[in-house]
Amino acid sequence: MKKLIILVTLASLLVAGCTQTTDYYSCTQDSDCVKVSGGCCDCNNGGNATAISKKELDLWTSQITSECENIMCATVISDDPSCFQETRCVNNKCVLQ
């Protein structure tokens, strides 16, 4: 029983150590933020936008590119409100307003 508890504890620590969370939205001032596509399709292709930290731009772009590899977007300008908003840092989070 003691070995089982040790094994479970070690497995939990390994899983916790492998889990990395990225805070895409952390900021201290407006200039820390950048407007990006909110998903596979950007505002020029029927999608929407979001604001993220400039520090995470490369990771965001890489993730979106990977996730959206086989996605086709409509060739239409989106009227989603996010497409017309500006980036701001509000309560240390990048947002569109």
- Position 72 scores a pLDDT of 96
Residue 85: partners with Cβ closer than 8 Å, 6 or more residues away: 35, 49, 96, 97
Mean pLDDT by 10 residues, the chain (97 residues): 38 46 92 97 97 98 95 96 98 98
Q: Cα dihedral angle (88, 94, 96, 97), rounded to 10 degrees?
A: -40
- Predicted pLDDT of residue 22: 79
| Distance of alpha carbon 23 from alpha carbon 60, whole angstroms | 11
Q: How far apart are CA 43 and CA 34, in angstroms?
A: 14
Structure tokens at 21: 């969370």
Q: What is the pTM of this model?
A: 0.76
Domain locations along the chain = 35-97
pLDDT of 17 reads 46
**Cα–Cα distance for residue pair 41/3, rounded to 1 Å:** 51
